[in-house]
Structure 1
């Protein structure tokens, strides 16, 4: 399976993935198995409130968590390093 080997070569690197339905996804490949590729995307799933001064201090900041996108290897059309 050529797409599997291409994904393995791109592990931990930023890629642009084109799927058979015409969608484009960008992110870093964090894992590949025989059926799926796991892409750490730049999308955020919303802010998380954290204390800027530790658990007992005052002040708050926001950070988002990246979304891991699971794509089936069978739906991938092309993959390119960016």
Structure 2
């Protein structure tokens, strides 16, 4: 639950997220739900996900990350 509240506090702000697999992602948090954080990135590639549930209105530059994989989040 701590990851959920941390992401809520950073909503609409630019962040760097570190996941448990060692990957780093940068972008703006556009939304958070009980299971996922949705990060608008600068890439124009296909939607990437580390979650089981899809984002209902996904765009090409939204990265869906499972809250269970988040290790750290920092404002940048």
Answer yes or no: same fold by TM over 0.5.
yes
In the aligned structure 2, how far is the partner of 1:10 from the partner of 1:16?
Answer: 11
Task: Give structure 2 stretches of 5+ with no counterpart.
Answer: 46-58
* Structure 1 residue 40, shift from structure 2 partner: 0.2
Higher strand proportion (structure 1 or 2): 1
Which residue number corresponds to residue 67 of structure 1?
A: 61
CA–CA distance in 2 between the matches of 1:39 and 1:66? 11
1:66 deviates by: 5.5
Moved over 6 A (4+): none
Distance (whole Å) between structure 2 residues aligned to residue 71 and residue 28 of structure 1? 13
- How many residues align? The count is 64
Determine if contact 1:40/1:66 at 8 Å carries over to the other structure.
Answer: no
What does residue range 42-81 of structure 1 map to in structure 2 within 5 Å?
A: 42-45=42-45, 67-81=61-75
Does the residue aligned with 1:21 lie in a helix, a strand or coil?
Answer: coil
SS of the residue 1:26 aligns to:
strand
Q: Report the secondary structure of 2:72's partner residue.
A: strand
* CA–CA separation in structure 2 for the residues paired with 1:69 and 1:37: 8
RMSD of the alignment, in Å? 1.6
Deviation at residue 38 of structure 1 after TM alignment = 0.2
